[in-house]
Copies of this chain bind each other. A is one copy, B any other.
């Protein structure tokens, strides 16, 4: 390789020199331009040819020696190592993707997954609270309080920060009728991780999960991590239709949203809750109670949770701060029967380990010092105004085009709309700058009612007015 000239190696002086020289030499060795045995010029001469300092050259040569590409030849400088067949590199290159190893069955189902890039939260994007109404000053004050605490940088407990679990115990008892000790609470990365943990420890692969139709897609995503099959239970006027609960259940898990059926609203009455618990007990079933936004009932105080209706229920109660604080916080919780705690903590350790401690410490104080309750009260009033306004707009402008179905409130309004494709409608609406979710997406079976679900919590009055008038023009065209 006399022909090879080190002077030809391009060096960009605006970037770090060592890594450039390192990868330049490495690639030329791998490409066979510097085959085994090739002797390098002296470090001084190399430095001259490359126009870099001799020190840089020496460091890179040491590096390549350490990596086994170069070796010292006694008395005769440095050479490319002999037992380094350059051909090897070619052998590990793939010509195409078919050469990649196979995926798991769970992985295969996702191989064509199209990530939804939310880019930004648009007006009417479902599940987004009023981000501008967040109490920054209080939050920052609490954050400064904990910001530099060393113990909040290391490890503590996979189950979750003790003071947060204590705060939650009291909040859930007084606000939601949940009966638990702090040691039954597991802090999670949002509600989604709570669902994934349940799926992992309650379901074997290919088990069947009973769930509401229509229902929450995030739950179905989590259950798909177990390749689960779905048994759809229809809805009555007040949430899940307890008379439709199968008398020979196809699986051992029911997922339900009794306090505000998602997405259609509806509050399951106490008598039906008792029937549901009775059914679960008789058939030895687990029940996941997703209490995702009961904080935002406007008319009555939310009905007490299933979990607390009896001393020992087979209920895994879950909640999230995504709607009560904000989604990007990624904080949620599970309240589980005592015997399940070790299993779920082990599962959490396996799937992601601890939850960021600073966030947990701030939220713990935010609750304990009463800011949370006050924030919820403010948001409840704020959302009720927005809700009333949106309902009025729909009545007034979408009469005959859309039928609002939410029997309860919360942060979104579901509209039944007769149209060719609600997916099409939603994307047209998005084109006009508004988020929304096609109602059909909430049906596990795929074939469901068509319509749009509108998240109104993060909309301004003007946005609601514009959005609804845009829909008035769009709907007839779909």
Tell me the nearest residue of chain B to A337, going by C-beta.
B100
Q: Bits for A302-313, please: 1 = Cβ < 8 Å to B, else 0.
A: 011000011111
Contact A269 B68 (CB under 8 A): yes
> Is A304 in contact with B115, judged by CB distance below 8 angstroms?
no
Report chain B residues within 8 Å CB of A35. none
Q: Is A18 an interface residue (CB 8 A)?
A: yes
Are B103 and A201 in touch, CB under 8 angstroms?
A: yes
Q: Is A469 an interface residue (CB 8 A)?
A: no
- List of B residues within 8 angstroms of A301 by Cβ: 18, 22, 59, 63, 66
Q: Cβ of A314: which chain B residues have Cβ within 8 Å of it?
A: 94, 100-101
Which residues of B are found within 8 Å of A102, using beta-carbon distances? 252, 284
CA distance A177 to B64 in the complex (A): 13
CB < 8 Å: which of B113, B125, B174 contacts A16? B174
Q: A104: CB under 8 A from chain B? A: yes
Q: Is the CB of A158 within 8 A of B345?
A: no
Interchain CB contact (< 8 A) of A278 among B91, B127, B159, B203: B91
Q: A101-B286, A153-B326 are in contact. Are A193 and B310 (CB under 8 A)?
A: no
Question: In the complex, which residues of chain B have a beta carbon less than 8 angstroms from the beta carbon of A222?
Answer: 350-351
| Known contacts A154-B118, A346-B113, A347-B110, A189 near B271 by CB under 8 Å | no
- Cβ contact within 8 Å between B346 and A110: yes
Binds B, one of A353-361, A383-391, A418-426: A353-361
- Whether B328 contacts A155 by the Cβ 8 Å rule is yes
Question: Is residue A128 within 8 Å, beta carbon to beta carbon, of the partner chain?
Answer: yes
Bound-complex Cα distance A93 to B339 (A): 15
Q: Which residues of B contact A99 (CB under 8 A)?
A: 281, 284, 312
Are B115 and A158 interface neighbours, CB within 8 A?
Answer: yes
A125 to B155 CA separation, bound complex (whole angstroms) = 10
**In this complex, what residue of B is CB-closest to A311?**
B93
Say whether A111 faces chain B, with CB atoms less than 8 Å apart.
yes
| B120 touching A148, Cβ below 8 Å | no
Contact of A151 with B by CB under 8 A: yes
Q: Find out whether the CB atom of B342 lies under 8 angstroms from the CB atom of A111.
A: yes
Q: Which of B94, B97, B112, B157 contacts A115 (CB 8 A)?
A: B157
A252 nearest CB neighbor, chain B only: B101
A281 cross-chain contacts in B, Cβ below 8 A: 91-92, 94, 99
On chain B, the residues within 8 Å of A203 by CB distance are: 104
Contact A154 B120 (CB under 8 A): yes
Chain A 75-105, CB-CB to B under 8 Å as 1, else 0, gives: 0000001011100110111100101111111
Distance between A79 CB and nearest chain B CB, rounded to angstroms: 15
Q: Say which residue of B65, B94, B310, B350 sits within 8 Å of A221 (CB atoms).
A: B350
A347 to B, closest residue via Cβ: B110
Please state if A353 and B330 are interface contacts (CB–CB under 8 Å). Answer: yes
- List the 8 closest pairs (A to B, CB-CB), nearest first: A107-B201, A121-B154, A68-B269, A113-B346, A66-B300, A110-B346, A118-B155, A68-B270
Known A89-B310, A330-B354; 18 more pairs at CB < 8 Å? A18-B301, A68-B272, A91-B278, A100-B340, A102-B284, A110-B342, A111-B342, A115-B157, A121-B154, A125-B154, A131-B153, A152-B328, A190-B352, A192-B352, A193-B352, A218-B353, A352-B352, A356-B356
